[in-house]
Chains A and B, each alone.
Chain A
Amino acid sequence: ILNVEQSPQSLHVQEGDSTNFTCSFPSSNFYALHWYRWETAKSPEALFVMTLNGDEKKKGRISATLNTKEGYSYLYIKGSQPEDSATYLCASRGGNTPLVFGKGTRLSVIA
């Protein structure tokens, strides 16, 4: 089973702080890397899907980078707001296999 690791497990930041977290995945036979945001009492929602080494994606204050050679992706949030509080999941695919999810990073933004 492909192993996807996320760090940190949880994070508390002040409103206005910028933050980032990491997703590590096997670099061999890499296919795609997904980021999802999961707010409490809601369904997970897709943020980004990345496939190419060096890919950078941005949606508002949230951005992500991908390094397929070393097997990691960073998710950045600039100027965190309380509404950014959620669990951020990454998931990776290797070859013709389904997505494997990490355990997530739980972000709490304190006003």
Chain B
Amino acid sequence: DGGITQSPKYLFRKEGQNVTLSCEQNLNHDAMYWYRQDPGQGLRLIYYSQIVNDFQKGDIAEGYSVSREKKESFPLTVTSAQKNPTAFYLCASSVQPPSGGRETQYFGPGTRLLVL
């Protein structure tokens, strides 16, 4: 089945620890994205990548880091510098780089991160 997988579904982290969220897609999409959702908020863009070995900051990149070493993978690391990391994290991908405007984004099932 083609799609986007995120693991784990739930993740617990002790304060001060870094944690990495996985996102894998087998849709052969060029672009990948990370969003964060908090209660009462819309999806806010953390980072996005249009092509392998390249990525750009979104609106709320502070305290996060990413890598794009392979087309199908776009892991997100939540660092200890992120002041309020407890949230729901969604990964998405699209068939074209985000310059055409019309590309539909396909979303994974999300990871809920809880800082203890």
Residues on A facing B (Cβ under 8 Å): 1, 4, 31-32, 34, 36, 42-46, 49, 51, 89, 91, 93, 96-104
Annotate B17-46 by CB proximity to A: 1 below 8 A, 0 otherwise.
000000000000000010100001111110
Q: Which residues on the B side are within 8 Å of A45 (C-beta)?
A: 107
Whether B101 lies near A32 (C-beta < 8 A) is yes
Whether B108 lies near A103 (C-beta < 8 A) is no
Whether A31 lies near B43 (C-beta < 8 A) is no
Secondary structure call for the B interface: loop
In order of increasing CB-CB distance, the 7 nearest A-B pairs are A32-B101, A31-B101, A43-B107, A101-B43, A101-B42, A46-B104, A103-B42
Whether B107 lies near A44 (C-beta < 8 A) is yes
User: B75 contacts the other chain (Cβ, under 8 Å)?
Assistant: no
Can you report 14 residue pairs joining A to B where beta carbons are below 8 Å apart? A4-B42, A43-B90, A43-B106, A43-B107, A43-B110, A46-B104, A46-B106, A49-B103, A51-B102, A98-B33, A98-B48, A98-B98, A99-B45, A102-B42
